């Protein structure tokens, strides 16, 4: 767009200067008409490419909400309207220049063969054409000013700026959550030491108070891990979107036009894919089942978590003051707790398998080392699951709590591998963009 404006402005300045000078320089006028026609042809080409680029790009602003998208489309249409007016004015200028050229020939012949009265009539016609050209130039300059005003108008930030802000905010949230998690870990370690001291001193009130706090901390840590998992997924999605936006923004109008040309080829590929529909469908269904497995397990885990927490606090009440329903509470805690812990282990195993499958499909450095670490965590979790499967209705609440703690420990130690896979995937995508 800027090259287009520069070309036509330079042409208008040169032509205006020539025609305000001595009209006897016919050769110079001829040369300027050729330059002018070339400038118009280049401008029309630029305009056509600008329209095509806009049409291809206007539906890709999926980061905007509906109103923002409408505003952006209106803004782009305003720019195209002004560009269209400028092209029309350039064509008018081209026609006027051609008429000036004809009148100049007439005036040259008249000065050789016709009386002065006829010469003055041709000169008047020529002056009128020059005035018309000057009006066109003024209208063009007004359109140019309108275009600059549009470009300087305050607008919503770009898709790239939007995703950069999203990534910055999410990274800050992750850092804050990780710091909070470390603080809880530190406090939990201190409480474990205090709990041992209280048990040796047989200070049961203090022991109860410490255990309550430890359970609160563990619940908070579980919540933080869930939040971290969600934030990391959001961060990965936003980084992928940013890569897509940067790739799209780096394309020239010619490249966008080439993409449009490939649509017919894409249709052929769709037809070929349709012939293999059965195979494709099976693959997709396997992926859906895999996702649903983890999704369902996590959903069940979260639903059961609240009930287990209530039963746990009821158990603590029974330690201080035995109640009539304490036996039922203990049995309920063991039964539901066993199911809860088993579901938690299955959920974590499914998540680790999902992570491993994702990593196997990527081409990143250090892939084998990370896969080995993930497989090691899967093995440890499977061992923990075997001990959990041995739980039954005769198990004690302490055995159920111990099994839950072993699962939580493996999961807590797996978070570094999860972070590493997420980071390396993002770096790999960024390297592909910059390559």
Q: Give residue 308's Cα distance to chain centre.
A: 38
Assigned domain for 270 exists = no
Based on the fold, state whether residues 302 and 247 are members of the same structural domain.
Answer: no
**pTM above 0.75?**
no
Assigned domain for 186 exists = yes
At 239 the pLDDT is 85
- Mean pLDDT over 244-273 rounds to 62
Based on the fold, state whether residues 304 and 190 are members of the same structural domain.
Answer: no
Would you say residue 23 has pLDDT above 50? no
> Nearest to residue 355, comparing CAs of 291, 399, 401?
291
Its domain, for residue 183, covers 157-263
Which of 214, 247, 263 delimits the end of a domain?
263
Could you report the per-residue pLDDT of 250-259, keeping only the tens digit for each?
A: 766 566 566 6
Quote the number of domains for the chain. 3
Based on the fold, state whether residues 222 and 171 are members of the same structural domain.
Answer: yes
Could you report the per-residue pLDDT of 130-142, keeping only the tens digit for each?
A: 888 878 878 877 8
Q: How confident is the model at residue 95 (pLDDT cuts 50, 70, 90)?
A: confident
Assigned domain for 281 exists = no
Would you say residue 55 has pLDDT above 70? no
- Mean pLDDT over 379-394 rounds to 75
Secondary-structure breakdown of the chain: helix, strand, coil percentages, each rounded to the nearest 5: 90, 0, 10
At 323 the pLDDT is 65
Assigned domain for 282 exists = no
At 377 the pLDDT is 78
> Nearest to residue 329, comparing CAs of 308, 301, 305, 304?
308
Based on the fold, state whether residues 113 and 173 are members of the same structural domain.
Answer: no
Dihedral in degrees, nearest 10, Cα atoms 236, 238, 242, 248: 100
Assigned domain for 271 exists = no
User: What is the C-alpha separation between 399 and 404, in angstroms, rounded?
Assistant: 9
Assigned domain for 203 exists = yes
Based on the fold, state whether residues 111 and 36 are members of the same structural domain.
Answer: yes
Answer yes or no: are the C-beta atoms of 244 and 45 closer than 8 Å.
no
User: What is the C-alpha separation between 347 and 352, in angstroms, rounded?
Assistant: 9
Assigned domain for 116 exists = yes
> Nearest to residue 220, comparing CAs of 170, 185, 173, 172?
185
Assigned domain for 35 exists = yes
Would you say residue 326 has pLDDT above 50? yes
Q: Where are the alpha helices (DSSP H) in 20-65?
A: 26-57
Based on the fold, state whether residues 144 and 188 are members of the same structural domain.
Answer: no
User: What is the C-alpha separation between 104 and 108, in angstroms, rounded?
Assistant: 6
Based on the fold, state whether residues 378 and 427 are members of the same structural domain.
Answer: yes
At 139 the pLDDT is 84
Based on the fold, state whether residues 69 and 206 are members of the same structural domain.
Answer: no
Which of 95, 119, 152 delimits the end of a domain?
152
- Cα distances from 368 to residues 240, 285, 377, 421, 431, in angstroms, run 23, 28, 14, 11, 19
- CB-side neighbour CA atoms (13 Å) of 47: 21
List of long-range contacts for 106-113, beta carbons under 8 Å, 24+ apart: 107/23, 108/24, 108/26
Could you report the per-residue pLDDT of 157-211, keeping only the tens digit for each?
A: 566 777 788 888 889 999 999 999 999 889 988 988 898 888 888 888 888 888 8
- Mean pLDDT (the chain) is 69
Based on the fold, state whether residues 204 and 315 are members of the same structural domain.
Answer: no
Percent of the chain residues topping a pLDDT of 90:
1
Q: How confident is the model at residue 343 (pLDDT cuts 50, 70, 90)?
A: confident
Q: How crowded is residue 253: how many other Cβ atoms within 10 Å of its Cβ? A: 19
Which of 263, 298, 328 delimits the end of a domain?
263
Would you say residue 218 has pLDDT above 70? yes
Could you report the per-residue pLDDT of 97-118, keeping only the tens digit for each?
A: 777 777 777 777 777 777 777 7
Based on the fold, state whether residues 257 and 362 are members of the same structural domain.
Answer: no
Based on the fold, state whether residues 251 and 308 are members of the same structural domain.
Answer: no
Q: What angle do CA 245, 246, 247 make, to 5 degrees?
A: 90
Could you report the per-residue pLDDT of 301-316, keeping only the tens digit for each?
A: 777 776 777 777 677 7
Based on the fold, state whether residues 147 and 185 are members of the same structural domain.
Answer: no
């Amino acid at each position: 767009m800027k090259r287009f404006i520069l070309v036509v402005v330079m042409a208008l300045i040169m032509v205006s200067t020539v025609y305000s000078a001595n009209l006897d320089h016919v050769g110079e006028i001829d040369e300027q008409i050729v330059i002018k026609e070339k400038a118009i042809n280049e401008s029309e080409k630029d305009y056509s490419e600008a329209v095509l680029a806009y049409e291809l790009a206007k539906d890709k602003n999926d980061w905007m909400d509906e109103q923002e998208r409408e505003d952006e489309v209106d803004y782009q249409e305003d720019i195209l309207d002004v560009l269209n007016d400028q092209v029309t004015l350039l064509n008018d200028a081209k026609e006027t220049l051609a008429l000036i050229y004809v009148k100049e020939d007439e005036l040259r012949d008249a000065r050789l063969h016709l009386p002065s009265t006829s010469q003055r009539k041709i000169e008047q016609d020529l002056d009128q054409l020059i005035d018309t050209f000057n009006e066109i130039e003024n209208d063009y300059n007004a359109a140019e000013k309108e275009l600059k005003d549009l470009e300087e108008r305050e607008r919503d930030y770009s898709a790239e700026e939007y995703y950069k802000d999203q990534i910055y905010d999410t990274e800050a949230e992750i850092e804050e959550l990780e710091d909070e998690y470390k603080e809880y870990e530190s406090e939990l370690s201190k409480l474990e030491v205090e709990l041992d001291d209280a048990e040796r001193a047989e200070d049961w009130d203090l022991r109860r108070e410490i255990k309550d706090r430890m359970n609160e901390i563990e619940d908070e840590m579980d919540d933080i891990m869930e939040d971290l998992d969600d934030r990391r997924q959001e961060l990965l999605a936003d980084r992928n979107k940013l890569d897509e936006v940067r790739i799209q923004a780096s394309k020239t109008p010619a490249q966008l036009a080439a993409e449009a040309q490939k649509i017919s080829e894409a249709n052929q590929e769709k037809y070929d894919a349709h012939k293999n529909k059965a195979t494709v469908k099976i693959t997709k269904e396997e992926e859906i089942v895999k996702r649903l497995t983890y999704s369902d397990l996590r959903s069940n885990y979260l639903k059961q978590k609240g009930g287990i927490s209530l039963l746990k606090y009821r158990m603590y009440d029974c330690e201080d003051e035995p109640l009539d329903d304490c036996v039922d509470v203990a049995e309920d805690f063991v039964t539901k707790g066993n199911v809860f812990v088993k579901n938690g282990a299955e959920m974590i195993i499914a998540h680790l398998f999902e992570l491993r499958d994702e990593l196997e499909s990527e081409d990143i450095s250090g892939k084998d080392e990370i896969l080995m670490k993930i497989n090691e965590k899967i093995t440890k979790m499977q061992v923990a699951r075997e001990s959990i499967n041995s739980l039954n209705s005769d198990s004690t609440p302490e055995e159920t709590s111990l099994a839950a703690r072993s699962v939580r420990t493996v999961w807590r130690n797996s978070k570094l591998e999860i972070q590493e896979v997420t980071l390396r995937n993002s770096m790999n995508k960024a390297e592909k963009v910059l390559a």
